[in-house]
Amino acid sequence: MPRPAAAFKVHTLRTTIRRSNTLRRRFASTTAHQETDVVIVGGGPAGLALATALSSNSLLRDTMKIVLVEAGDLSKVANWTQPAGTYSNRVSSITNASQSFLQEIGAWSHVEESRTCPIDEMQIWDGVSDARITFSIHDDHALGVAGAEAPSQMSTMTENLNLQRALLRRLHDTSAVEIADKVKVQSIQREEREGGGGWPLVHLSDGRVLRTRLLVSAMRRGRARVRD
């Protein structure tokens, strides 16, 4: 009996899907990949701090291939200047612990201290009621462990660009991280391997495909393509 038209169409569709999957697997296995250990997507303070921390460790620096991908032009950040008395409106409060971390990885010495401001008191209030709470460096609980030296401030305020510029300067000192700026992530696929467990394949707008053991998203929430 002749095959019904509907059955023929289903058979043809299944055959097309199988061929497509076969070609996709073949393409994924033959495309030239750049082997990396860590890919960090996002050149903001978080991404740059992670890259700097990894590059400041001599063992990791000498054994790992690290790539930082940023869609923007980081040369503008590296060469950022601001006239005296004017400030960028994007700032961060750096806790004492975070400042110690930045000192340990060699980045804080590149921060322009004249563009920082110590915080010794802060007040938080509710926008609906009159409830509010105040924290001060002079509070007993702020002194920490008994006998330990009291901190001189609760935290330090600075512009994000001041911090990013410092981290970039430290990264340029080590030359251990490849910075791929003005490059966007086009897509991310998981490598197809028998039994699963394939590594991420990061397709970039410059035509490269990065095969990486660890993929880290350090992007702002509104731009978090990697998290999606």
For 126-141, what is the mean pLDDT? 84
Q: What's the domain range around 100? A: 31-109+159-223
- Residue 194 pLDDT class (50, 70, 90 cuts): confident
To the nearest whole number, what is the mean pLDDT of the chain? 84
Cα 132 from Cα 105, distance rounded (Å): 37
Looking at the domain assignment, is residue 95 inside a domain?
A: yes
For 110-125, what is the mean pLDDT? 93
Looking at the domain assignment, is residue 150 inside a domain?
A: no
Looking at the domain assignment, is residue 163 inside a domain?
A: yes
Tokens read off for 57: 């460790």
Looking at the domain assignment, is residue 167 inside a domain?
A: yes
Domain count, the chain: 1
**Alpha helices (runs of H) in the chain, residue ranges in sequence order:** 5-30, 45-56, 58-63, 74-78, 96-104, 160-174
Give 85 or 23, the one with higher predicted confidence: 85
Looking at the domain assignment, is residue 49 inside a domain?
A: yes
Question: Do 214 and 39 touch, CB atoms closer than 8 A?
Answer: yes
Tokens read off for 20: 């497509």
pLDDT at residue 78 greater than cutoff 50: yes
Instruction: Flag the least confident range among 37-51, 126-140, 150-164, 175-189.
Output: 126-140
How many CB atoms within 10 Å of residue 195? 5
Specify the pLDDT at position 135.
87
Overall residue count recorded for the chain in this entry: 228
Looking at the domain assignment, is residue 205 inside a domain?
A: yes
Cα 204 from Cα 225, distance rounded (Å): 13
171: CB partners within 8 A, 6+ apart: 48, 51, 52, 55, 177, 179
For 196-222, what is the mean pLDDT? 90
- Residue 79 pLDDT class (50, 70, 90 cuts): very high
Give 44 or 61, the one with higher predicted confidence: 44
Q: What is the pLDDT of residues 4-41, one digit of tens each?
A: 555 444 455 455 445 544 444 444 444 588 999 999 99
> Domain holding 54: CATH number?
3.50.50.60
Give 49 or 175, the one with higher predicted confidence: 49
Using alpha carbons only, how large is the chain's radius of gyration in Å?
25
Looking at the domain assignment, is residue 11 inside a domain?
A: no
Looking at the domain assignment, is residue 19 inside a domain?
A: no
